[in-house]
């Protein structure tokens, strides 16, 4: 049984207030979702807080999950991503450090390997590998590192419209590959 087949009924049960179902979702997805939060926040304690906040949101919003619109994994990851981004905005994007080189390293798609070692994660990485570098890099910067389109455009020194188009085309290709 694949994860989507397992998670969709669990989310339906969570929507009815089933705490055991929420625990089962947590047990199946927390490691992967912690990776999403940690990639955005770059701080384990903050990522744990974001994950906790996300699971509170999941418990309250499970009735909003619609399998016709996407996979349970994507829905859960989006909630965690938004929780982490909210936390990042609240505390400020930068974490002071003594390392002058921090942030100067190029972002590689291999950062996704920390997010998930599941079959879905491997499939996503395979599909990402088929994308052109510019599309893949934009998607990783946006969805793994939590940068806005404007921040990506500034980092890559490209026009905002170009960055938006690259990410959109990349996401469309990903959707085709994952379908």
2: left (phi over 0), alpha (psi -120 to 50) or beta: beta
Q: What is the pLDDT of residues 109-128, one digit of tens each?
A: 444 444 445 667 778 888 88
Domain at 109-178: CATH code: 1.10.10.10
SS3 track for 41-70? HCCHHHHHHHHHHHHHHHHHHHHHCCCCCC
What is the pLDDT at residue 139? 86
Cα Dmax for the chain: 50
What is the pLDDT at residue 98? 52
Per-10-residue mean pLDDT for the chain, 179 residues long? Answer: 75 94 94 90 89 94 90 92 87 53 44 53 82 88 80 85 89 86
What residue spans in the chain does CATH classification 1.10.1740.10 cover?
A: 3-91
Asked whether the beta carbons of 83 and 50 are under 8 A apart, the reply is yes
d(CA 176, CA 179): 5
What is the pLDDT at residue 107? 41
Asked whether the beta carbons of 163 and 149 are under 8 A apart, the reply is yes
Asked whether the beta carbons of 4 and 26 are under 8 A apart, the reply is no
The domain made up of 3-91 has a fold known as: Rna Polymerase Sigma Factor; Chain: A (1.10.1740)
What residue spans in the chain does CATH classification 1.10.10.10 cover?
A: 109-178
pTM over cut 0.85:
no
């Amino acid at each position: 049984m694949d994860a989507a087949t397992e998670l969709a009924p669990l989310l339906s049960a969570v929507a009815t207030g089933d705490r055991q179902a929420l625990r089962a979702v947590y047990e199946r997805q927390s490691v992967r979702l912690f990776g999403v939060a940690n990639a955005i926040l770059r701080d384990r304690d903050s990522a744990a807080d974001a994950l906790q906040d996300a699971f509170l949101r999941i418990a309250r919003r499970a009735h909003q999950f619609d399998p016709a619109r996407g996979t349970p994994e994507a829905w859960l990851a989006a909630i965690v991503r938004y929780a982490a981004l909210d936390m990042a905005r609240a505390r400020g994007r930068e974490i002071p450090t003594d390392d002058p080189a921090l942030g100067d390293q190029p972002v590689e798609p291999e950062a996704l390997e920390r997010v998930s070692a599941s079959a879905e994660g491997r499939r996503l990485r395979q599909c990402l590998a088929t994308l052109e570098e510019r599309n893949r890099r934009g998607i990783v910067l946006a969805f793994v590192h939590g940068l806005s389109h404007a921040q990506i455009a500034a980092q890559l020194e490209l026009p905002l419209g170009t960055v938006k188009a690259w990410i959109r085309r990349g996401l469309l290709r990903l959707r085709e590959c994952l379908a």
